[in-house]
Amino acid sequence: MDPFRGAFSSGAGTLGTLEVCTPAAYVSTGDNGIVSLVTPAVSGPDGIRFEYLAMSLDHDEPALMRHDAQAYLEHSGGVIQAGWGLSGSMRHSAIQFHFRKPKGVVPASYAFTLKVIDSSFNSGWSSEFSLAVT
């Protein structure tokens, strides 16, 4: 038996043993030269994971070679930064973020705010969700 199974649970939806925390959402719809979105954030035995995807609309500008974005997970115990990703492609970017399961969590449920800041194109996104922590 996996001792971490069900470490987080949410009523938002389920993907196998993964719990969907937030749905996919657009961050930018092309007004700044890129289309970008976050994939569904899912909670599993080792924490919360999602990807930030971006694609350049113009073949000349902007290049995504040095595209960078940061992700933050806020909760009552503070803020966790997943670090930032840096793309290495001219036309598209895929940055993976992973937040480890918080240690020493006492409450039965936790309220979180997940934020993504796209430093290269001055756009951002946030979503609030709660998970039961067992």
Grade residue 9 by pLDDT with cuts at 50, 70 and 90. Answer: very low
In terms of Cα–Cα distance, which of 95, 112, 94 is closest to 47?
A: 112
Alpha-carbon distances, residue 9 vs 3, 44, 46, 84, 125 (angstroms):
14, 9, 13, 26, 23
Summarised one tens digit per residue, pLDDT across range 39-60 is: 999 988 778 889 999 888 877 6
Task: Tell me the CB-side half-sphere exposure of residue 15, using CA atoms within 13 A.
Answer: 13
pLDDT at 19 over 80: yes
> What CATH number matches the domain at 8-133, 2.60.40, 2.60.120, 1.10.3470, 2.30.30?
2.60.40
